[in-house]
């Protein structure tokens, strides 16, 4: 696997950093104050072609996982909260449309969504259905010409600004647990939709919203994929999104680490800079190694996805390693700043909280361990010699 980025990749990274210096950095403090990201930022992302899909004559194509990871990492170095809002639009909303939208839905919605004119969120989590995705209780009742949806999605990122929602609901309550759910593309600006922004403490300035649907009509042609396959479909979306959220989490660690390095090189205590104390240099070396190990695992997952290989194991290991690195690094970095780190206005303040957010999105650390172990057992069964070698 190559460890050196191509000239094209380096040029894209430079161009994207310039984009962020223009469209993100000067405005970020205002967005934090209002706790919202203006739609104009998504339109700017779209107008300069930074979402990871293309559309031509209604047909969607996906770009490289390496490119999307670069975008997530670069935004998160500055603001993990903005990064997660972009991830929801591209790697949950647009990904759902790409994987499971009909040709008609793609022709209607893909182009405006890629321009940032139509925002798509994903609603799956409920009060009693988080890691247990099959535990969803929102009801989808079949009626003439479509479906009536009733229920509440508890925590929806971009829910207050989303125009469309990729929503899971119980279409077949008497079916097997794995075949109860279907997936729908729901107009969130229509009748019967109530939204309430929640007062969260992570991933600011993105929003988290509770969405209640009461007799919301969804036409038949807005059923996504196959009836009864909603569980498998949403899990597939989450598996894809584990790679970009790993890159986002890596960027969270890097953003905090960069602030910590600058501070430790200049802050003097007992007549010395912090990095003149050997224990702190050893800590920095440990955490830098964690960051780079997570990066390599993310690159391996990207390569697996782009080759068309089964990337589930690599994606979960990337998520697991990046979260561990981010939690360790951001906590250490905040400690170096002392009391200043608890001030809301201080740049370091958001990073430990946002690392916590990353540990929950697209599956907790325990969920990743379950996936990793299951994939390990599959490989052991396919190659019994692995089991013998480990005895």
Kindly state the tokens that stand for 131: 């890691």
Confidence band, pLDDT 50/70/90 cuts, at residue 4: low
In this structure, what CATH number is given to the domain that contains residue 273? 1.20.140.10
The half-sphere exposure of 240 on its side-chain side, counting CA atoms within 13 A, is 25
Question: What is d(CA 383, CA 379) in angstroms, rounded to the nearest whole number?
Answer: 6
The pLDDT tens digits of the residues spanning 374-390 come to 999 988 877 666 555 44
Residues 212 and 282 placed together within one structural domain of the fold: no
Shared-domain flag, residues 110 and 88 = yes
What is the helix (H) or strand (E) element at residue 146, kind and residue range?
Answer: strand 146-157
On whether the CB atoms of residues 128 and 121 are closer than 8 A, the answer is no
Same domain, 236 and 379: yes
**In this structure, are 264 and 314 located in the same domain?**
yes
- Give the domain CATH number at 126: 2.40.110.10
**43, 117 contact by CB (below 8 A):** yes
Same structural domain for residues 81 and 166?
no
User: How many structural domains comprise the chain?
Assistant: 3
Write down which residue in 85, 119, 153 finishes a domain.
Answer: 119
Same domain? 12 vs 91? yes
Query: Quick one: tokens of 350?
Result: 């958001």
Q: Closest by alpha carbon to 260, among 345, 346, 334, 322?
A: 334
The answer to whether residue 1 is domain-embedded is no
**Assigned domain for 2 exists:** no
Crossing angle between the packed helical segments 39-47 and 80-87, to the nearest 10 degrees: 70
Q: What three-state secondary structure class fits 333?
A: helix
CATH code of 107's domain? 1.10.540.10
Nearest-CA neighbor of 49 among 118, 114, 119, 120? 114
Is 389 inside any structural domain? no
User: Are residues 189 and 330 located together in one domain of the fold?
Assistant: no
Question: Do both 55 and 147 map to the same domain?
Answer: no
On whether both 178 and 305 belong to a single domain, the answer is: no
pTM (predicted TM-score) = 0.92
From 206, 227, 248, the end of a domain falls on 227
Q: What is the pLDDT of residues 190-202, one digit of tens each?
A: 999 999 999 999 9
Q: What is the pLDDT of residues 289-338, one digit of tens each?
A: 999 999 999 999 999 999 999 999 999 999 999 999 999 999 999 999 98
Torsion of CA 136, 369, 328, 247, to 10 degrees: -70
pLDDT digits (tens, 9 = 90+) for 107-137: 999 999 999 999 999 999 999 888 888 999 9
The neighbour count for residue 278, using CB atoms within 10 Å, is: 8
Q: Which of 104, 119, 134 lies at the terminal end of a domain, its last residue? A: 119
Residue 157 Rama label (left phi>0; alpha psi -120 to 50; beta): beta
- 252 with 319, same domain: the answer is yes
Identify whether residues 207 and 238 lie together within a single domain: no
User: Under a CB-based contact definition with an 8 Å cutoff, are residues 159 and 207 in contact?
Assistant: yes
Q: Is residue 390 part of a domain?
A: no
Q: What is the pLDDT of residues 234-275, one digit of tens each?
A: 999 999 999 999 999 999 999 999 999 998 878 777 878 877
Residues 375 and 267 in one domain: yes
pLDDT at 208 over 70: yes
- pLDDT at position 344 is 83
Backbone dihedral region for residue 37 (phi beyond 0: left; psi -120 to 50: alpha; all else: beta): beta
Domain carrying residue 335: 232-384
Please give the radius of gyration of the chain, using alpha carbons only, rounded to the nearest integer.
22
């Amino acid at each position: 696997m190559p460890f050196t980025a191509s000239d094209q990749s380096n040029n894209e990274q430079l161009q994207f950093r310039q984009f962020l210096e223009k469209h993100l950095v000067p405005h970020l403090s205002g967005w934090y104050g209002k706790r919202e990201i203006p739609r104009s930022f998504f339109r700017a992302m779209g107008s300069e072609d930074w979402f990871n899909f293309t559309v031509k004559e209604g047909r969607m194509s996906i770009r490289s996982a390496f490119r999307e990871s670069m975008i997530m990492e670069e935004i998160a170095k500055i603001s993990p909260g903005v990064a997660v809002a972009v991830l929801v639009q591209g790697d949950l909303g647009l990904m759902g449309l790409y994987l499971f939208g009909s040709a008609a839905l793609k022709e209607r919605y893909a182009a405006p969504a890629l321009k940032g004119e139509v925002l798509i969120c994903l609603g799956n989590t409920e009060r009693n259905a988080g890691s247990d995705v099959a535990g969803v209780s929102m009801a989808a009742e079949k009626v003439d010409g479509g479906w009536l949806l009733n229920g509440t999605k508890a925590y929806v990122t971009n829910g207050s600004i989303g125009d469309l929602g990729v929503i899971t609901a119980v279409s077949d309550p008497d079916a097997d647990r794995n075949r109860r759910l279907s997936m729908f593309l729901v107009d969130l600006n229509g009748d019967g939709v109530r939204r309430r922004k929640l007062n969260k403490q992570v991933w600011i300035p993105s929003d988290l919203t509770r969405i209640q649907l009461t007799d919301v009509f969804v036409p038949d042609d807005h059923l996504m994929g196959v009836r009864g396959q909603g569980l498998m479909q949403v899990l597939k979306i989450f598996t894809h999104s584990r790679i970009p959220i790993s890159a986002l989490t890596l960027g969270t660690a890097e953003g905090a680490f960069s602030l910590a390095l600058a501070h430790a090189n200049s802050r003097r205590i007992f007549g010395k800079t912090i990095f003149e104390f050997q224990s702190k240099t050893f800590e920095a070396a440990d955490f830098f190694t964690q960051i780079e190990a997570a990066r390599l695992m993310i690159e391996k997952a990207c390569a697996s996805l782009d080759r068309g290989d089964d990337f589930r194991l690599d994606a979960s290991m990337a998520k697991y390693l990046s979260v561990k690195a981010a939690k360790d690094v951001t906590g250490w970095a905040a400690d170096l700043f002392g009391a200043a780190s608890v001030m809301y206005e201080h740049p370091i303040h958001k990073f430990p909280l946002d690392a916590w957010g990353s540990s929950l999105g697209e599956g907790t650390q325990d969920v990743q361990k379950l996936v990793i172990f299951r994939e390990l057992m599959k490989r052991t069964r396919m190659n019994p010699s692995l089991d013998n070698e480990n005895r």
